[in-house]
Each structure stands twice: as C-alpha cells, then as structure tokens.
C-alpha cells in the first residue's frame, strides 16, 4: 500500500511514518524543507516535494493514488 503523508516529521507524523514503514508500507512524505526531507529519509519514507493546491505536483496523488492521506 502507498501512503501520502503530510506532516511526517511532526509530533504525530514521526511515529506514524515509522510505524507505516515498519509495516512495509511505501510512504511518500511532503516535507517543507531540506532538513525535513533528510529526516523523512531516516524514517524510511520517500520525500516528495509538492504544492498542496497543485494536483499535478503531487506525485502520490496523480499516479497510482495512495489509499491513505493524512493531513
């Protein structure tokens, strides 16, 4: 299952990202900075830069639609 996750490095997102990747899920995370992108990688997720209001820039939504989105 692919999961698109906003807030992956926050108080709830960090443990959620870890749990999802530990369960074998492919997590695409939307970091806002280079530091957050690095943190996302250490959690086992794939950082994906996108603009929230531009559907074409959201890789997890436009191709292969994820089953879960957390905002």
- For 5-59, how does the pLDDT look when each residue is reduced to its tens digit (9 = 90+)? 888 889 999 999 999 999 999 998 988 889 999 999 999 999 987 766 666 655 5
Integer-rounded Cα Rg, in Å, for the chain is: 11
61 vs 55: which has the higher pLDDT = 55
32-46: pLDDT as tens digits? 889 999 999 999 999
How confident is the model at residue 30, as a pLDDT? 86
Placement of tokens 């830069």 in the chain: 49
* Four-way CATH pick for 2-70: 1.10.10.410, 3.40.50.720, 1.10.1040.10, 3.40.50.300: 3.40.50.720
pLDDT at 52: 62
- Full-model pTM: 0.70
């Amino acid at each position: 299952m692919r999961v698109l996750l906003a807030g992956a490095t926050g108080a709830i997102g960090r443990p959620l990202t870890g749990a999802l990747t530990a369960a074998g899920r492919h997590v695409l995370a939307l970091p806002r900075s280079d530091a957050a992108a690095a943190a996302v990688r250490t959690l086992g997720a794939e950082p994906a830069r996108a603009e929230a209001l531009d559907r074409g820039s959201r890789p997890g939504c436009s191709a292969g639609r994820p089953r879960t989105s957390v905002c």
